[in-house]
Amino acid sequence: MQAVDPDYDKRVRESFARQGAMAHIGAALRRVEPGLVEIDLPYRPELSQQHGFFHAGMVATVADSAGGYASYTLFPADSSVLTVEFKVNLIAPADGDCVRAVGQVIRSGRTLTVCELRAYVRKNGAETQCLHGMATVMCLAGRSDRGPAQAGK
């Protein structure tokens, strides 16, 4: 896939850095390419559900962010990104020491972009897919990501 904005990488990293939630849960950008973003989420007890594994919501959060930023790599410079909806199946317990979330653009339109979301959990050096999903993402053209988004999409 081709990015229309040559500075997509810088734009994604700056936006990611403004997300308080990503810092709070300890997520880190791992890979930023046109139409593809990966995010790492190392384990800590503060991310757990009742059995000590990663909480499904935490895994879904990084998957959603990976999909939103994968879409954002393809947007024009002066635009903002909104998740319209996402759907995830938790296909295996997220039991391990690090989650890697992958967002990958399937179809990029002027207004709407559709992504595939996957997450893998690493344990004893081996990765198991623990989440599979999809997201619909909206491009708000002419509204810089640095200002507040408006309602009424």
Helix intervals (H) in the chain = 8-17, 20-25, 56-72
Nearer to its own copies, 124 or 153 (CB): 153
- Tokens of residue 36, six digits: 């593809």
d(CA 51, CA 95): 9
Q: How far apart are CB 33 and its own copies at their closest, in Å? A: 20
Q: How far apart are CB 3 and its own copies at their closest, in Å? A: 18
Q: How far apart are CB 24 and its own copies at their closest, in Å? A: 4
Question: Going along the chain, which residue ranges are E strands?
Answer: 28-33, 36-42, 79-90, 98-108, 112-123, 126-141
Q: How far apart are CB 76 and its own copies at their closest, in Å? A: 15
d(CA 126, CA 102): 17
CA neighbor of 25 nearest in space, from 49, 58, 52: 58
Nearer to its own copies, 31 or 106 (CB): 106
Residues that bind its own copies (CB under 8 A): 15-16, 18-25, 44-53, 55-58, 60-62, 64-65, 80, 82-93, 95, 106-107, 109-112, 114, 116, 129, 132-134, 136, 138, 145, 147-153
What is the three-class DSSP state of 65? Answer: helix
